[in-house]
Amino acid sequence: MADAAALLIRPERPDHPEVAAMLAALDRYLGELYEPQDNYIMDAEALLSSEVIFLVAEQERRLVGCGAVRVAAAEQSTSGRPYGEVKRMMVLPALRGQRIGERLLSALERSLLVRQIDRALLETGGLQTSAVRLYERCGYRRRGPFGDYPDNGLSWFFEKRLA
């Protein structure tokens, strides 16, 4: 296992070529699991929005993971409070199990707290068992749908109070 201290979490543009390749691999993986209408993917253009914080994990000058949070307005399903939605989490398959995902998620949560957002929500597919385990291990708890997501039986919804 590589030295965890050598892992650098930093902002990067989601349209950077290395990031684009990583997101394309994630899209292919999700396409193998779900029909197109059941994938809720933010493309690179949407990830460039000022409401999105996009981070990468770098190890030995190579991108090994990425993740984003989208700051969202208050809604009824969040008790009238704004929230951050976790999106586009990915760690290279060969490096999973090294807590890279946990460190990325923690950095994203800290970026929300700096913006005085005290909860993170996410939607993931139930077939993504590694992702579900990561979120549960990091303190996320199941909840009902939020935003514009349908309750389609494939999506699992999670929430974590950050403060």
pLDDT tens for 12-57 read: 999 999 999 999 999 999 999 988 888 899 999 999 999 999 999 9
Query: Could you count the other beta carbons within 10 Å of the beta carbon of residue 114?
Result: 8
Q: Where are the alpha helices (DSSP H) in 79-123?
A: 100-114
**pLDDT of residue 1 exceeding 50:** no
Strands of the 83-91 sheet, one edge to the other:
7-11, 52-59, 62-72, 83-91, 119-125, 155-161, 141-143
User: What pairing do the DSSP bridges indicate for beta strands 83-91 and 119-125?
Assistant: parallel
Which domains does the chain show, CATH number per domain?
4-161 (3.40.630.30)
User: For the chain, what percent of residues have pLDDT higher than 70?
Assistant: 97
What's the pTM value of the predicted model, to 2 decimals?
0.92
Alpha-carbon gap, residue 119 to 85, rounded angstroms: 9
